[in-house]
Amino acid sequence: MTMRRIDPVTHLLSGAADGEVMAFSEPLSFWGGFEPATGKILDVRHPRRGETVGGRILALPGTRGSGGTPAALAEAIRLGVGPAALILPEPDANLLTGALVSQALYGACCPIVVVSPDDFLSIKDGSWALIEAGGPVTIRAS
């Protein structure tokens, strides 16, 4: 088992989380390609179609689509079927808005961190991530 610490990290929304990493090769549309009531990916063209994001840490290269993303993400987090946290290679205003709304209205936190593009590409699907509030990200791969 190998462990890797990613630091520096930019915390768009600080908080602590740990869980299995779901690493995406393509952006995801949270509006139309995702079911907020179940956390399931619906987009028929997405390689992760049929999988659920609930409780996982998403290493997500970005989003596709509309300004409906914040509502879909906030609803999934509220229902407990959303991601535990998001790791991004660059800031995403729609994801941040959804997570902020969820935290403000429902008290449910979904930390969002931004890492360098090289660090982002090094995060593997199925690894385990620990996000420390205001601190580094630790990735454990078997």
Give the integer Cα–Cα distance in Å for 105 and 68.
Answer: 17
Identity of the amino acid at 41: I
Active-site residue list: 66
Q: Identify whether the C-beta of residue 107 lies closer than 8 Å to the C-beta of residue 57.
A: no
Dihedral angle, C-alpha 85, 7, 1, 18, nearest 10 ° = -20
